[in-house]
Amino acid sequence: MQLLEGSVRNYSWGSTSAIPELMGKESDGRPVAEVWFGAHPVSPSTIAGERLDQIIDADPQSALGARVEERFGSRLPFLLKLLAADEPLSLQAHPTLTQAQEGFERENSQGVALDATERNYKDASHKPELIVALTNFHAMAGFRPLPATRELFALLRCEKLGRYLTMLDAAPEAEEDNLRALFTTWITIPRASRVELIDAIVDSAKHHVDRGDWMADVLRTVIDLNNRYPGDVGVLGALLLNHVHLVPGEAMFLQAGQLHAYISGLGVEIMANSDNVLRGGLTSKYVDVPELVRVLDFESLADPRSMQVKVASDNVTEQWDYPVPVEEFGISRIELAPRNVVDIDYAGPVIVLCTAGAAQVTDPETGEQCELRPGRALWIPAADALKQASGLAEGNTQLFVARA
């Protein structure tokens, strides 16, 4: 086991304070959007200055174990992140594994450079992802069931918006086709017409933001997004998506094709080891509308929240698992009371991230020890045996254990 140095990503939407405060550091005034703990070749973590992806390449069976190497080759199949958003991220979706493989091969054959701004597929992997909130966390995710969207449209009483109600057939079996038709229309109409439509929606929305219900939350977000990105198609997308508020410990899982955008908050995110993003708005980065529409899943999503399962409790230690329907990763959240001990014992590579308090991780066979503080992570290769973590802080220590 060795301490893992995360890779900091200073994207413009990040928070200048959230991650530095968690790590007990002074802010340098730059936005810190993410810290990556993993072996993605674009921005790998390091151990004593050596890249984790190169460490794994040198001895994949020791690092990953036979099971993981056989399934995923000589690469770590997951990527763990700290994520802090002060501003909305781009409206986006991720491809399926087949779409990613085809898109990656296609752009390679076309000679599109991996670092080209118009590149959609940076690798041949899909990117299912789960975010666990560390603070109040706000996001938009998945198309809202149409009965609720029709209710929202009716509330607005907006003539220009009303013209599109004919696309929203009430028949449940038509819901997916209706959403596809409406979103595809909105994302392709001329900019002048789109701005005119959004201005009319925003004018109507301002009369309903004090209602105190879910529709008011949506409309406040629509107004805010339009202030940040006037006339952007992402403002229209916000009318169709679930608006989600996660409290600390709650999570949201996103499958391939689900349109989403994080809005604000601090969380721990885990995903397949990929950087494939198809953007649809709320960004100055490259937007490929036909490719986004091709990968989108227009099936409505009643609630994007992910189940958390309490798996251990003895009054001083509590553990929650977040089951996901993918092979690449699993993750647990552990709350440790002072001097309490928990076993870390998985048949594969593990990254342990501390987000509160402090912990000492010990190898019971050798006596080797590593201390974790908030924002620090530990790499445990598959060849290592059982490890034990004990709480050192006066209050509870919080650990996230990611594994393949």
Please list the active-site residues. 279
2 is in an annotated binding site: no
- Let me know if 217 is exposed, middle or buried by CB neighbors in 10 A (0-12, 13-18, 19+): middle
As given in the structure block, the two tokens for residue 230 are 């006037």
260 is in an annotated binding site: yes
As given in the structure block, the two tokens for residue 30 are 């730059």
- DSSP string for 21-61: HHTT----SS-B-EEEES--TTS--EETTEEHHHHHHH-HH
Instruction: Say whether 20 sits in a helix, a strand or coil.
Output: helix
| Contact present, 44 and 8 (Cβ < 8 Å) | no
Smallest Cα–Cα separation from 337: which of 257, 256, 397? 397
Question: Distances in Å between the alpha carbon of 373 and those of 31, 85, 100, 352?
Answer: 21, 22, 37, 11
Q: What is the identity of the amino acid at 390? A: S
As given in the structure block, the two tokens for residue 209 are 């933001």
Alpha helices in 281-347, H assignment, sequence order: 289-295
94 is in an annotated binding site: yes
207 is in an annotated binding site: no
Q: What is the identity of the amino acid at 154? A: A
Residue list for the binding site for Zn(2+): 92, 94, 129, 260
Residue list for the binding site: 92, 94, 129, 260
